[in-house]
Amino acid sequence: MKNKLTILLFTLICLVFLTRYPLASTFSCQSSFKDIPENSILCYYVNNLEFQGIVNGYSDQTFRPDNFVTRGELAKIISIAFQVDLNLSDMEKTDYFQDVNTDHTFFQYIHALKKADIISGFSDNTYRPDQIVSRAALTKFIHNSAKLKNESLFNAKAEMEFIDLNAETPFYEYIQALYSATKEEALYEQIITLTSHKNFRPTDSATRGETAKMITNTIQYADIYSNTYYPDYSNLSSGIESDYKIADGNFRVYNYYDLNISILVTKQGFDFNYVPNNAPQIQTLAQNLGYQYIVNGSYFGGTNLDAEHAGLLNYYGIPITPIKYYDQGVPEQLTHIVRYDKTNYNVVFIDKDEYYPIESNYNLLEFQTGPLVISKNNIQSALIENSKNGMTYHQRTLMGVSDQNEKFFIVVKEEVSLSQIANILLHLSLLRNKTIDVINLDGGSSTAFYSQNYSFLNWGENKRIPVVLGFRVLR
């Protein structure tokens, strides 16, 4: 998912969510991959999954749709596409497949599918991650994953006309279920299409292109992403425009109603408020301290080594929490250190493995958070995918810096993955022609935005949050 600024058509991706049941044939499409034809149905399928962060291309900007899919690769694609719980903390090591060790690239995804009873592996307790997936076996992965999200799916049973299938064909029930689900549904794209030659080719290897089609159409049929709404933007040459812009002294605020995003932009500094116990309501804090704006910060895990919560390393010369590291195989959320210098309002994001503390500097604030989402306009797919909640859906608060000495604070009130919000940010006209870095601060129930003068922007102003960033208008 590199170089997202080369994506020429965001309209297609947005329209996927504009209606609940889109028909691919109604869209034009330009792909970010060199080997995906423009305005093709394959472009629709691949763009859809790429935007969701479900599939990636290769470093040469190709997708290679005719490449075959291995069982290991499919485990990752399925886990992300159907939002399978990746937490393996209560899974016994005796339940692991003997040929998929904890250091295997797809360990987490494979065993998440096993834990969820989506797959069972082979009788010798192996998974065989490097084995190519057949077209028939692909239907079982998709069927079981979608059923996990909604038990009521796949109840129809239509007669199949494929001449190379019968009731004894391995995975026949799953092929029939996916075929029947959309056979008589005019509003859906067909998960499995009956072609003129009437062959399903169950033992043929599944390609990346075929996998993209089946998963995309199953996602639409199962309505998995129905809570996410993105409107149609036809003028892509200038990027996505805000619905409302406020110029307020040293601040600018951009509000995107349909995207449920508010962005505060400033070149000045901020106050860091850390009240771990009995924090006041946000609007009360703003009134007491004269803040024009407040955005929630990272939720700190106190002085322990809680790997799920950010760490306050240095509070203006006072060391608080030691840096947090991770055991091998554990999703790594806190990838970077935010360093803020209150003398010049400068903010930088430092890789935790390259961080060296600056002792007794009373002008520096440093805290550990993450993951890094965008670096120099490139989406950090590996960091997002390896984080605990990067690919799952939450409200979000993020912080960014640009090469124009701006800081921007992004509050997303819709539940999105970090891959989704990264794609959106790179298509905003506000951030076009700038080099930006963006890091995840927090999300979920802690998400909040407060404006003293523009109450329609407020979100979560009555929350009591231990860490908030306060902004005053300088006179």
Give the C-alpha separation, 261 to 253, whole Å. Answer: 11
Inter-helix orientation angle 71-81/208-222, to 10°: 20
pLDDT at 186: 55
pLDDT at 381: 86
pLDDT digits (tens, 9 = 90+) for 161-171: 899 999 999 99
259-270 mean pLDDT: 93
Residues 276 and 197 reside in one and the same domain: no
402 pLDDT above the threshold of 60: yes
Mean pLDDT value across the chain: 83
When divided into structural domains, the chain yields a total of 2
pLDDT at 20: 31
| Of the listed ranges 244-248, 323-327, 339-343, the one predicted with least confidence | 323-327
326 pLDDT above the threshold of 80: no
In a domain, 77, yes or no: no
In a domain, 123, yes or no: no
291-301 mean pLDDT: 80
**Which residue has better confidence, 225 or 295?**
295
Which whole-number Å values give the CA distances from 270 to 151, 227, 297, in the listed order?
A: 49, 34, 11
The encoded tokens of residue 256 equal 């995107």
pTM listed for this prediction:
0.57
In a domain, 119, yes or no: no
Residues 313 and 438 reside in one and the same domain: yes
pLDDT at 225: 57
pLDDT band at 475, cuts 50/70/90?
low
pLDDT band at 151, cuts 50/70/90?
confident
Pair 104, 74: CB distance under 8 Å = no
Residues 407 and 299 reside in one and the same domain: yes
DSSP 317: T
What backbone phi and psi angles, to 5 degrees, belong to 346?
Answer: -80, 140
Q: Which strands, in side-by-side order, build the sheet including 364-369? A: 318-319, 311-315, 364-369, 336-341, 346-351
95-119 mean pLDDT: 92
452-468 mean pLDDT: 88
Instruction: Provide the residue range defining the domain that includes 144.
Output: 4-69+132-222
In a domain, 232, yes or no: no
405-417 mean pLDDT: 91
52 pLDDT above the threshold of 90: no
Helices (H), 32-168: 41-51, 71-81, 107-115, 135-149
In a domain, 53, yes or no: yes
150-179 mean pLDDT: 92
Q: Which of 189, 222, 255 is the last residue of a domain?
A: 222
pLDDT at 13: 40
In a domain, 212, yes or no: yes
pLDDT at 328: 56
Residues 195 and 63 reside in one and the same domain: yes
pLDDT at 14: 39
Residues 214 and 343 reside in one and the same domain: no
pLDDT digits (tens, 9 = 90+) for 202-260: 999 999 999 999 998 898 888 765 444 343 333 444 578 888 899 988 899 999 988 88
Residues 282 and 151 reside in one and the same domain: no
pLDDT at 329: 55
pLDDT at 177: 94
**Which residue has better confidence, 227 or 132?**
132
380-404 mean pLDDT: 88
4 pLDDT above the threshold of 50: no
Residues 212 and 246 reside in one and the same domain: no
pLDDT at 46: 85
263-288 mean pLDDT: 89
pLDDT at 27: 44
284 pLDDT above the threshold of 70: yes
b/e map of 285-305 (b: 16 or more CB within 10 Å)? bbeeeebbbbbbbbbbbeeee
In a domain, 345, yes or no: yes
In a domain, 107, yes or no: no
Give the C-alpha separation, 131 to 69, whole Å. Answer: 9
